[in-house]
Amino acid sequence: MIGSRLTELLLQKGCRVSHLSRSRRTGAVPSFVWDVQGGTMDEQALAGVDTLVHLAGAGIADKRWTKSRKNEILQSRIRSTALLVEQLSKGDHAVKSVVCASAIGYYGSGGADEVFTESDGPGNDFLASVVAAWEEETSRFESLGLRVVKLRVGIVLSNSGGALKEIARPVRWFVGAPLGTGQQLISWIHVDDVCRLFAEAIENISMQGVYNGTAPNPVTNRVLTESIARAMNRKIWLPPIPGFMLYFILGELADAVLKGSLVSSQKIQKTGFTFRFPGLGSALNDLLKR
């Protein structure tokens, strides 16, 4: 979802872009083969590349969190990063910068009065442990003398998938409802803004280290749901879906929708970056009324 839109944005800027994929493809955006499980990568993939953007990882909410799925979520991030580190450690490349996706799941969940900044430590739940391990692995790029930027991305709102599509589907049929208490905080970001953040991290060589990738105005799950309904000219008339029901249906995966956090965007704003969609209303109007 992010990679496709980011590719479009970078091409508009006149950048040359190539992808790592399971299959080779030629054209304006060529794909080079890598096999994360087998630990191999096309040696031509890094030719002429000065910046590597690492977004790879199994989807957090794609499947129920069985023991094997949780291991897949973790290992997909660790192994893909380790493979890239191994390739870059060979030294036969022109890469100077690595921009890595991370996630605000690093902080765990927090209350309405707890604001997380980049200096805070990791939480103690499953997602926090995954992101902490992922970031530790990406730190290995720094030992190669590369500039490394880690963007802790919030809940991305996009027409192409993710949270917005899942919430909008029942709302469209008048069966949408807040989840759990509805008071869990959602630190969100418009897909175009998060892609602009990645582009900024590529171009702005003064950026280094960790930055939160969230819009300046987080909202509760209830406000998000009601705002989506309003943008779609729908009404929310059902009561909130009880948390126990979500745990029964989703298992531990329910944590991803029943817990939230208030994440600060001040650090990235201090670099001079401005959000095109700082408020939820403008973001939803752009995405749902195209």
CATH number for the domain spanning 88: value is 3.40.50.720
Q: What is the pLDDT of residues 18-64, one digit of tens each?
A: 999 999 998 889 999 999 999 999 989 999 999 999 999 998 888 88
Range of the domain at 170: 2-288
Is 0.85 surpassed by the pTM of this model? yes
Q: What is the pLDDT of residues 200-251, one digit of tens each?
A: 999 999 999 999 999 999 999 999 999 999 999 999 888 888 888 888 888 8
> 137-147: b or e for each residue (b if 16 or more CB lie within 10 Å)?
bbebbeeeebb
- Distant-in-sequence, close-in-space partners of 19: CB < 8 Å, separation ≥ 6: 3, 7, 25, 29, 30, 31, 32
**How far is it, in rounded angstroms, from Cα 55 to Cα 77?**
9
Is the pLDDT at 290 greater than 80, yes or no?
A: no
Please state the domain count of the chain.
1
Taking each helix axis as running N to C, give the angle between helix 126-138 and helix 67-89, from 0 to 180 degrees, rounded to the nearest 10.
Answer: 10
Q: What is the pLDDT of residue 254?
A: 86
- Report the relative pairing of strands 155-158 and 40-41 from DSSP bridges: unpaired
Which of 210, 199, 214 shows the shortest CA–CA distance to 131? 210
Are the CB atoms for 169 and 119 separated by under 8 Å? no
> 168-179: b or e for each residue (b if 16 or more CB lie within 10 Å)?
bebbeeeebbbb
